[in-house]
Structure 1
């Protein structure tokens, strides 16, 4: 992407995320109160992800799960995970848990559209060719987020990390690579509108 296109993308990200954050403050207050009333504090979940140029950053989300038992460690969770609260299940379904990431966009760690960031443990598995993913800011949404909008269902019924590598990893990496090489401003706009519609669609991801 040329310098002028990068500037346009960043300018749009900044303006749209600022406006979106202000407009969605009432929604975020309701979500925050619901989380506290059901399962107490904290409201926000922070986790390390790998961002632009391979630099780690803290992604922020509304907390949708109870704390894991001591010694338990999983990168993913299915819809059947008993740690997911009732409020958590609702905000996950409609992607309200992602709203705090508008702050990640405002501060330049993320873009509205771009490859979803992975944990540092997973990015260590990238091939040399796949390292090009770090040349763009990670996003709140991308094509893979739409294709796998029912990810929680896909990861149910077994070990979620194993199911992720079995059913999701390869096609997701292909979509990330495609975005890096083919993304455009108009394409980003289309992805934003498709993302907003995804929670209300019946579309299922491919096997």
Structure 2
């Protein structure tokens, strides 16, 4: 998506709280263009190397439970635009009609294959499609469902200045969020009042300090976090 002038932004984003973030990013237009170029090239290269994994996951999902390969849920990205995200399905069909939008660690809706896919974050591989088409980026605030965006404070709206991302510093620090929310009786309330504000502090800080170097660092940290979690889980199960 193109960079909009201040007057072109949605009215909900044209506020004093968003202005510092907008001005900071406006001074980095060249890096923003390079970020988009990296997303296009990177998504194509990764898909060329991992296309076989898409096939393996698709077959495993179809054999494990009835339903589509992809889970297409409406999310919010840059400038508040809605899109249907691509995620490999890890839950039973029509899971969003059975329970809430937030998933907990012991969620009974998660399938057997889905549990393995979620453990290694393989469900997000399909978001390469979203990165290529521009509705998402490799690094950025994770896309929320519309109902959670309505609870954003004016300052939180600044995170919509850039496309939503597959990963972020907040994603790394809250990688076990599902298990943290498992013990609460009202998951949606706990997410909006506790988890979301904490994650947004990291997201907003990343907006102010955006650079291509920081994006690459976040991507490397994500890979490290996933691999470290795998090592710990293997040791615990060994």
Q: TM-score, normalised by structure 1?
A: 0.92
CA RMSD of aligned residues (A): 1.8
Aligned match for 1:173, one of 190, 194, 200: 200
Which residue of structure 2 lines up, in the alignment, with residue 160 of structure 1?
A: 187
Q: Distance in 2 between matches of 1:130 and 1:70?
A: 25
User: May I ask how many residue pairs the two structures share in their alignment?
Assistant: 203
Indicate the structure (1 or 2) with the bigger Cα radius of gyration: 2
Which residue of structure 2 lines up, in the alignment, with residue 55 of structure 1?
A: 81
Structure 1 position 9 matched with structure 2 position 35: yes
Of the structure 1 ranges 165-174 and 40-49, higher mean CA displacement relative to structure 2 is found in 165-174
Q: Distance in 1 between matches of 2:91 and 2:131?
A: 24
Aligned match for 2:129, one of 77, 100, 103: 103
Aligned match for 1:30, one of 45, 53, 56: 56
| CA positional deviation for 1:68 | 4.7
Q: Distance in 2 between matches of 1:143 and 1:92?
A: 18
Q: Distance in 2 between matches of 1:170 and 1:26?
A: 38
> Does structure 1 conserve the Cα–Cα contact (< 8 Å) formed by 2:151 and 2:192?
no
Alignment gaps of 5+ in structure 1: none
Give the direction of change, closer, same or farther, for the CA distance of 1:45–1:68 in structure 2 (3 Å limit).
closer
- Runs of at least 4 residues of structure 1 off by over 4 A? 68-71
Residues 93-127 of structure 1, C-alpha deviation per residue, up to 9 Å, x if partnerless? 10100011110010011100001111111111112
Of the structure 1 ranges 174-183 and 95-104, higher mean CA displacement relative to structure 2 is found in 174-183
Aligned match for 1:147, one of 173, 182, 191: 173
The structure in which a higher percent of residues are helix is: 2
Which residue of structure 1 lines up, in the alignment, with residue 141 of structure 2?
A: 115
Alignment gaps of 5+ in structure 2: 1-24, 231-238
| CA positional deviation for 1:73 | 4.0
